[in-house]
Amino acid sequence: MASLCIGIFHSASKIWHSVGILWAIAAVAFLYRLYQTRSFMRRLQREGLPMPPHHPLFGHLLVAWKMVKRLPPDAHLLLMANQVRQAYPHLDTAFYFDTWPFSPPSLWVISPDMSAQFTQQKSFPKFKGLRQFLKPLTGKQDLVTMEGHDWKHWRAVSNPGFSTNYTTSMIPVMVKAIKIYRDIVHRHAIDDPMFFLEVPTLELSMDIIGRIVLDHEFECQTSYNRFTAALQNQLAWCNAGVHKSPFQYVNIVRPFVQQYNTWRMNSYLDPLLKSRYETLQRRPNNKNVTDLMMDAYAKEKSDANNTCPTKMDPDFSEFVRSQVKLFLQAGHDTTAASIVYTFYLLSKNPGSMCRLREELDSIFGPDATATCDLLKENAHLLGQCKYLLAVTKEALRLYPPSSTVRFGPPGSYLVDPNGKRLPTENCLIVGCHQGLHRNPRFWPRADEFVPERWLVDEKDLLYPVKNGWRPFERGPRNCLGQELAMTEIRLVVAVLVREFEFRDAYSEYDLKRGQALDNMRVSGDRAYQVEGGGCHPSERFPCVVSFAHRTSTYLGQNLSNL
């Protein structure tokens, strides 16, 4: 018995000895990487390259903590760029930021010209953390993170499914969904309770993108849909490996929730995609992106007699499913947030609201309730709404739904306005649209809602700076669905803005929850952008909606029908 105990003791000692060696190796590797990163930044600092004050041990972690404390707990990390620029005004084009081990050494870019250098003049590869973020949502491959020949091929195949002509042809389909959305808003205007505007707007956008991408009726606005519920829940559990809090790096529940959501999504989509492929030949002229990808696959796999395979092989089936999930997520998430922010900004700027309504009256006539029918009959009327387009672009400037994150290849660098070369090799390059779009160096009246800047002559001081407007990014990796997003936002605003008044209800919401207002604003803005997919308005935008004065006749005519 004694010898057995001694044996167990020796085995345990060996295990602990091995664990100790592994910990020692990990500690040495950590310290070496820490030394490498801090030394790299210290060298750049000695060379006079732009960055906040750098600590030899903590890097910019102390600065980052200071900036994070200025922001609400759920505020999007990208808002930190503007906070840094405000705290250090000389850092108004780009700056290095060293927060290792929480993220790689990075270069934050808030200059139009410098943004163009790594997205348009050259297209730097996407940050691998983006693949980590999207993998639970899309699977193995998706167009956002693919590179090289595969990306070029499938991007070319997908382009017609989001073209201007196809998007315009789908306006009647979009208007049908928007009419349901209008009815939902109408009911809220009558009941007059506070509600969260983002919720029905997300459902609207999902119904629209489902028809555009898949020619499928999700019917999210009128009933529960298990696929879209799983998709939205999955999005909330995705992460890119960069967090404000160290506690967010370890979450043992996350993989189990993600696996369950994946099963829910795939079990809904797979039969639907299988059926679409089997009936593909009956839709020879269909231009939705799912059919385009399936058609390209069928032609590639057809035999000498042009006979297509009767079913998709497992690899392609998984691939097309991944792209559909990507398009559905990207096509509803950011667009819905942009619609909400457009209503928010118009409610805060009555002069712009008045001018917009006057334009819509002149194009669609004084009867606001007829807008849907007019758009269904003549979709090109939307193109005549110049001020509406300006309003949409200005809302996207102030609240861009995303940014771009790339990784510096070997030997790469950017050049600042003073001609300094900023090395980017092995650096995370954050093209921060939130910081760029509100940078007063490039945008006069940067924090103001001024749609007129999109209508002035090139000689006017308000005229937008070249390459400065980047809500959908620019260059070969720009957003595939930007034409669809711009069309959808304008349609929703055109249909609703003359009938209803939107007002944020943050004060009522905060009072109801007993929530302190300290540290719940960003530069005075309660509707700040939060993390989770696209940059959504905080708290899902609590809102009160009422009828615009001009719709009093419409209200009297329709109350009896409710």
The number of distinct structural domains making up the chain is 1
The per-residue pLDDT for 287 is 79
Which residues are annotated binding-site positions? 479
The domain in which residue 97 lies consists of: 49-561
Query: For residue 2, what pLDDT is reported?
Result: 60
3-state SS class at 531: coil
Where do we find the tokens 């231009």?
287
Q: Which residues of 337-376 are buried (b: 16+ CB within 10 A; e: fewer)?
A: bbbbbbbbbbbebeebbebbbebbeebbeeebeebbebbe
- Predicted confidence at residue 283, as pLDDT, reads 82
Which residue type occupies 94? A
Q: What's the pLDDT at 247?
A: 57
| pLDDT at residue 8, rounded to an integer | 59
Predicted pLDDT of residue 21: 80
Looking at the whole model, is its pTM more than 0.85?
yes
Residue 4 makes CB contacts below 8 A (sequence gap 6+) with none
pLDDT at 245: 58
Beta partners for residue 406, in sequence order: 126, 429
What pairs with residue 413 in β-bridges?
A: 423
Residue with tokens 């999700």: 218
Report the range of poorest mean pLDDT among 73-87, 216-230, 275-289, 365-379: 275-289
Tell whether 28 is covered by a domain: no
H or E stretch at 323: helix 314-348
How far does the chain reach from its first CA to its final CA, in angstroms? 86
User: What percentage of residues in the chain have a pLDDT greater than 90?
Assistant: 75
Write the DSSP symbol of residue 55: B
Please give the C-alpha separations between residue 490 and each of 9, 61, 448, 495, in angstroms, as whole numbers.
73, 42, 20, 9
Token representation of residue 317? 């089936």
Amino acid at 437: H
Gyration radius (Cα) of the chain, Å: 26
pLDDT range class, residue 514, cuts 50, 70, 90? confident
Query: If you ran DSSP here, which 8-state letter would residue 118 be given?
Result: I
Mean pLDDT over each residue of the chain, to the nearest integer: 90
The residue that leads in pLDDT, 455 or 517, is: 455
- Beta strands (DSSP E) in 483-523 are 500-504
pLDDT, mean of residues 337-345:
98
What is the per-residue pLDDT across 152-199, written as a single tens digit (0 to 9) for each? 999 999 999 999 999 999 999 999 999 999 999 999 999 878 999 999
520-554 pLDDT, tens digit per residue, is 899 889 999 998 777 899 999 999 999 997 543 33
Q: Of 171-185, 284-298, 497-511, which range is least confident? A: 284-298
Which residues, listed in sequence order, are joined to residue 543 by a DSSP beta bridge?
195, 504
Task: Average the pLDDT over 303-310 and give the result.
Answer: 78
CATH code for position 232: 1.10.630.10
Q: How far apart are CA 198 and CA 220, in angstroms?
A: 13
Instruction: Kindly state the tokens that stand for 89.
Output: 């005004």
**What would the mean pLDDT of 113-135 be, rounded to a whole number?**
92
Q: Express as a percent the part of the chain with pLDDT over 70.
A: 92
- With bands split at pLDDT 50, 70 and 90, how would you rate the model's confidence at 518? low
- The answer to whether position 71 is within a domain reads yes
Span 226-279, pLDDT tens digits: 999 999 999 888 876 655 555 566 678 888 999 999 999 999 999 999 999 999
pLDDT at position 23 is 84
Among residues 399, 365, 417, 422, which one has the least CA distance to residue 537? 399
Q: Is 483 left (phi over 0), alpha (psi -120 to 50) or beta?
A: alpha
Strand partners, 404: 431
Instruction: Report d(CA 93, CA 415) in Å as an integer.
Output: 10
pLDDT tens figures, 407-444: 999 999 999 999 999 999 989 999 999 999 999 999 99
For residue 559, pLDDT beyond 50: no
Question: Token pair of 142, please?
Answer: 């998706």
The 10 Å Cβ neighbour count of residue 87 is 13
Looking at residue 27, its pLDDT comes to: 87
Distances (CA, A) of 308 to 277, 353, 378: 11, 54, 38
The binding site for heme comprises 479
| Residue pair 43/96 in contact by the 8 Å Cβ criterion | no
Residue 533: the pLDDT is 72
